[in-house]
Amino acid sequence: MALDGEKLRRIRQSKGISQEKLALMASVNKRTIQRAERGESVAVETAAFIAEAIGVPAASLRGSQMELFEREQKSPDEVVLVPTNSGRRIVD
């Protein structure tokens, strides 16, 4: 999933967070933050970790690509399962 790198960088900088600190907050490598800010693809799970760390919805950071799992309308009581690469968030 490609993120809007410029938007991510602006939000991070406006909150006074360094790339290193964001990497620690999101439990990812600093290089992952650098790649995301360049607009390179990151895992969906990683995008969610980064968005959570800076306090914004993951969808607001989405780049020009559309989500594979996105639907036009969602019912208010719908549960959306997001594929993950690890069970780390379940444990956390």
Radius of gyration of the chain (CA): 13
Confidence band of 67 (pLDDT split at 50, 70, 90): very low
**CATH superfamily of this structure's domain 1-92:** lambda repressor-like DNA-binding domains (1.10.260.40)
Distance CA 44, CA 48 (A): 6
- Average pLDDT of span 64-73: 50
Confidence band of 2 (pLDDT split at 50, 70, 90): confident
Question: What is residue 66's DSSP assignment?
Answer: P
The pLDDT, as a whole number, for residue 20 is 97
pTM: predicted TM-score of the whole model, two decimal places: 0.68
Look at residues 15, 57, 65 and name the one whose alpha carbon lies nearest to residue 39: 65
Look at residues 30, 86, 26, 92 and name the one whose alpha carbon lies nearest to residue 61: 26
The residue extents of the domains of the chain are 1-92
Residues of the chain with pLDDT > 70, as a percent, come to 67
- Average pLDDT of span 1-22: 93
In the chain, the largest separation of any two C-alpha atoms, in whole Å, equals 38
